[in-house]
């Protein structure tokens, strides 16, 4: 019985090849950053993390500004939140 347990421990977790960088390639053109930022805003809201919430809000505004006006939003724009 001990021999079987020993054999299982030595042979059960064998990797046939090690991971390569090509296994984790990311195509940035297929990434929907708005979707990612909206998800992160929801998580920040659930965790009452106001700093993260406003950070992702600014990122969303930057993307929408670029799509609408075809130019980058100036660095550190002043954003007023109207409630």
Per the domain annotation, does 66 fall within a domain?
yes
Per the domain annotation, does 52 fall within a domain?
yes
DSSP 74: P
Give the total number of structural domains in the chain: 1
Structure pTM?
A: 0.59
Low-confidence residues of the chain: pLDDT under 70: 7-15, 77, 79, 83
Q: Give the pLDDT confidence score for residue 14 in this predicted structure.
A: 61
Residue pair 56/41 in contact (Cβ under 8 Å)? The answer is: yes
Per the domain annotation, does 18 fall within a domain?
no
Q: Give the pLDDT confidence score for residue 21 in this predicted structure.
A: 78
Per the domain annotation, does 62 fall within a domain?
yes
Q: What are phi and psi of 58, to 5 degrees?
A: -65, -40
The token pair at 41 is 């805003």
The token pair at 10 is 């030595």
In whole angstroms, give the CA distance from residue 59 to residue 12. Answer: 46
Per the domain annotation, does 1 fall within a domain?
no
In whole angstroms, give the CA distance from residue 67 to residue 62. Answer: 9
Residue range(s) defining the domain that contains residue 38: 34-71
């Amino acid at each position: 019985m001990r021999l079987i347990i020993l054999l299982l421990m030595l042979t059960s977790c064998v990797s046939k090849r090690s991971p390569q960088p090509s296994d984790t390639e990311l195509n940035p053109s297929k990434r929907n950053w708005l979707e990612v930022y909206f998800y992160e805003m929801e998580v920040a809201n659930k965790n009452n993390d106001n700093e993260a919430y406003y950070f992702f809000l600014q990122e969303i505004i930057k993307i929408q500004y670029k799509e609408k006006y075809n130019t980058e939003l100036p660095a550190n724009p002043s954003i007023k939140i109207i409630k």
